[in-house]
Amino acid sequence: MKRLLPTLPLLFGTLTLLLGGCSGSGKGPVIKGTVTLDGKPLDHAEVAFEPIERGSQIGGDIVKTDENGQFEIVSSSRKHGLKPGKYYAKVSKWVDKKTGKLPDPGTMEGIDADQLRMAGKLKNVVPDRYSSSDFPGGLFQVEVKAGDNDLRIDLTSKRR
């Protein structure tokens, strides 16, 4: 037992280092971005990143913008983030059809946003060309490069 005691601190230190390395500290690139509609930050919007090249193995991601139209994608042990490549950025913001406001989470207890959309109670305030694959060439395209990225997704209501 006396011979085991001097090795315990070394064993404990090694275990701490090994387990600390499993925490998923976000080893991939950090992708930050801003979404605007007609020059104004698009708050509480959903941005879905889908690879442009069908069948590619780079994956995708979905994020929400904050009240300033900003988002951040950080890879971790649970989430791989975005790999370098070209993506479509599909943007949507669903609001109450009657009030034009975001659905109140308190009134949606047990109901999910998809159900409200299907019931026709929500409308997308982002033009369809930015949120639907039915408008090829209209979707916003972004390129993620190796390392950290700062993306700008500037949308307009009117077609140019």
Name 151's bridge partners. Answer: 33
Question: In the 8-state DSSP scheme, what is residue 106?
Answer: G
Task: Give domain status of residue 24, yes or no.
Answer: no
pLDDT over 90 percentage in the chain: 35
CA 24 to chain centre: 18
CA distances from 149 to 47, 62, 66, 144 (A): 16, 16, 18, 7
* Model pLDDT for residues 32-57, shown as the tens digit of each residue: 999 999 999 999 999 999 888 877 77
Question: Which strand ranges, in their side-by-side order, compose the sheet holding 140-144?
Answer: 61-64, 46-51, 85-92, 140-144
- How many domains would you assign to the chain? 1
pLDDT category, 63, cuts 50, 70, 90? Answer: very high
**Residue scoring higher pLDDT (49 or 112):** 49
Top-confidence residue, 116 or 40:
40
Closest to 142 in 3D by CA, of 94, 91, 92, 93? 91
Would you place residue 152 in the very low, low, confident or very high pLDDT band (cuts 50, 70, 90)? very high
What is the rounded average pLDDT for all residues in the chain? 78
The pTM of this model reads: 0.74
Residue 11 lies in a domain: no
Amino acid letter at 139? L
Is pLDDT above 60 for 91? yes
pLDDT in tens, 9-31: 444 444 333 344 444 445 667 89
DSSP E strands in 26-106: the ranges are 30-37, 40-41, 46-51, 61-64, 70-74, 85-92, 94-96
Reported as type and span, the H/E element at residue 140 is strand 140-144
Is 147 inside a domain boundary? yes
Backbone angles phi, psi at 149, to 5 degrees: -130, 150
Query: 107 vs 42, which has greater pLDDT?
Result: 42
Q: Pick the closest to residue 49 from 83, 76, 94 (CA basis).
A: 83
CATH label of the domain that carries residue 131 = 2.60.40.1120
On whether residue 10 sits in a domain, the answer given is no
Range of 123's domain?
29-155
